[in-house]
């Protein structure tokens, strides 16, 4: 009978464990942003999350691991936004110019304009040294676009013998330039300016990679 009761309680304990883990990460994210990585202590994270240090250490071995998990969580959310944009905008049969333009706008508006991106920048742009995520994480968004460009090339929609290079060029011509305009010194950058930047970038990309180029 004891064994059966213990098994029935396991899902509840697992749920409470996940809730505490989430609380720890939420608390740590807030402290890393407001106080910085160096000044944030494990004690402070545990107190903010309202868990014991023992509970915290049951989930995470040290502050560096907590920081990387916080960063990874934000990165995964951003990656999900980009993946959805690739899947929903760069669809088969859609006018390519329209698809590329809408995709670029969506990345600029929903990814770079999101709270997740702001959090990611605040976490990684701290003046003191902070743990860095694996190098492979940085290339994952580009890999999503590379894969879709490879499919477009296979369908004859674009000429891209090196899809990753094409993905880099597209990003540089559209999304990166729009991002630079938004983060630059000029405060008067508006929607019309972003429209022009992205439209010009898509034109340049299609001149280089369009099937009829």
Residue 172 has what pLDDT?
A: 97
State the Cα angle at 30 between 24 and 33, rounded to 5°.
135
6: pLDDT confidence band, cut at 50, 70 and 90? very low
Mean pLDDT on 86-107: 96
Q: What is the pLDDT of residues 135-176, one digit of tens each?
A: 767 788 999 999 999 999 999 999 999 999 999 999 999 999
Rounded Cα distance, 70 and 28, in Å: 7
The domain boundary, picked from 14, 33, 60, lies at: 60
**Domain total for the chain?**
2
4: pLDDT confidence band, cut at 50, 70 and 90? very low
Residues 38 and 114 in one domain: no
Q: What is the pLDDT of residues 15-60, one digit of tens each?
A: 899 999 999 999 999 999 999 999 999 999 999 999 999 999 999 9
Q: What is the pLDDT of residues 114-146, one digit of tens each?
A: 899 999 989 988 877 788 877 767 788 999 999
Cβ neighbourhood burial of 97 (10 Å; 0-12, 13-18, 19+): middle
Residue 134 has what pLDDT?
A: 73
Residues 27 and 76 in one domain: no
CATH (domain of 89): 1.10.357.10
Mean pLDDT on 53-77: 95
Residues 48 and 83 in one domain: no
Query: What predicted TM-score, i.e. pTM, was given to this entire model?
Result: 0.82
Structure tokens at 82: 């980009």
Rounded Cα distance, 84 and 176, in Å: 19
Question: What is the domain extent for residue 142?
Answer: 72-209
Closest CA to 32 of 74, 70, 75: 70
Q: Tokens 């040294």 sit at which residue?
A: 129
Rounded Cα distance, 139 and 125, in Å: 18
86: pLDDT confidence band, cut at 50, 70 and 90? very high
Q: What is the pLDDT of residues 199-209, one digit of tens each?
A: 999 999 999 99
The domain boundary, picked from 32, 60, 88, lies at: 60
In-domain check, residue 65: no
């Amino acid at each position: 009978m004891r064994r059966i009761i213990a098994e029935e309680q396991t899902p509840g304990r697992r749920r409470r464990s996940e809730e505490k883990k989430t609380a720890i990460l939420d608390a740590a994210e807030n402290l890393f942003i407001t106080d910085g990585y160096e000044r944030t202590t494990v004690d402070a994270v545990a107190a903010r999350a309202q868990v014991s240090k023992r509970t915290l250490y049951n989930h995470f071995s040290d502050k560096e691991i907590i920081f990387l998990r916080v960063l990874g969580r934000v990165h995964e959310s951003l990656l999900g936004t980009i993946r959805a944009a690739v899947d929903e905008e760069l669809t088969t049969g859609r006018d390519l110019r329209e698809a590329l333009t809408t995709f670029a706008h969506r990345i600029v508006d929903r990814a770079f304009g999101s709270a997740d991106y702001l959090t990611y920048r605040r976490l990684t742009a701290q003046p003191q040294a902070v743990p860095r995520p694996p190098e492979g994480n940085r290339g994952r968004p580009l890999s999503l676009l590379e894969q879709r460009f490879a499919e477009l090339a296979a369908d004859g929609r674009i000429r891209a013998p090196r899809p990753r290079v094409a993905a880099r060029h597209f990003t540089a011509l559209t999304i990166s330039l729009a991002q630079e305009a938004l983060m630059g010194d000029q405060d008067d950058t508006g929607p019309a300016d972003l429209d022009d930047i992205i439209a010009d970038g898509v034109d340049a990309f299609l001149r280089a990679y369009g099937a009829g180029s």
